[in-house]
Amino acid sequence: MSRSTRAAGRRSAPRGSRSRHKAHRTRTTSKAIGLTLISALIPGSGFVMGGRTKLGAFVMTLSVGLLALGAYIGLTKRDAVLELAVDPRQLLIATGAVVFLGLLWIWVVVQSHKLIRPVSMTAVGRLAGSAFVGLLCFGIAVPTTVAAQTVMAQRDLVGSVFASEGKSKSATRPKIEDKKSPWANTPRLNILLLGADDGAGREGTRTDTVMVASIDTKNGDTKLISLSRNWMRMPFPEDSPLHEFYPEGFWDPSLGNVEQPDYYLDAMYRNIPAAHPGVLGASDNEGADVLKVSVGAALGLDIDYYMQVNLKGFEQIVDALGGITVNINYKVPIGGDYRGPGSGDDVLPKDYLLPGANQKLNGHDALWFARGRYGLSDGSRQERQRCAIHAIVNSANPANLVTKYQQIAAASKKLLQTDIPQEILPAFIDLGLKVKSAKVSNVDLDKDKNFPSGKNPNYEAMRELVQKAIEPKAGTEPTTTTPSTTPTKKPTTGKTTTATPKPSPGGTEDLSDACAYHPANP
Farthest CA pair distance, the chain: 124
Distances in Å between the alpha carbon of 291 and those of 100, 244, 401, 485? 47, 16, 31, 41
* Residue 486 pLDDT grade (very low, low, confident, very high; cuts 50, 70, 90): very low
As beta bridge partners, residue 225 has: 212
Express each pLDDT in 14-64 by its tens digit.
Answer: 444 444 444 467 778 888 889 999 999 999 999 998 889 999 999 999 999
User: Cα 88 vs. chain centroid, distance in angstroms?
Assistant: 17
Greater confidence, 517 or 200?
A: 517
Going along 347-465, which residue ranges are E strands?
A: 351-353, 356-361, 416-418, 440-443
Work out the pLDDT band at 492, boundaries 50, 70, 90. very low
In this prediction, residues 149-161 reach a mean pLDDT of 85
3-state secondary structure 18-36: HHHHHCCCCCCHHHHHHHH
* pTM reported for the whole predicted model: 0.72
The whole-angstrom separation of Cα 519 and Cα 522 is 6
Contacts of 276 (CB under 8 A, 6+ apart): 241, 242, 245
pLDDT at 176: 85
Residue 100 DSSP SS3: helix
Residue-by-residue DSSP string for 373-388: -TTS-HHHHHHHHHHH
Beta-strand runs (E) in 368-488: 416-418, 440-443
Pick from 296, 294, 316, 312: which is nearest to 304 by CA?
296
DSSP 234: B
The DSSP call for residue 505 is T
pLDDT attached to residue 496: 37
> Any idea what DSSP says for residue 480?
B
Residues 419, 422, 427, 428, CA torsion sign: positive
pLDDT (tens digit per residue) in 249-268: 999 999 998 999 999 999 99
From first CA to last CA, the distance across the chain in angstroms is 109
- CA–CA separation, 480 vs 484, rounded Å? 12
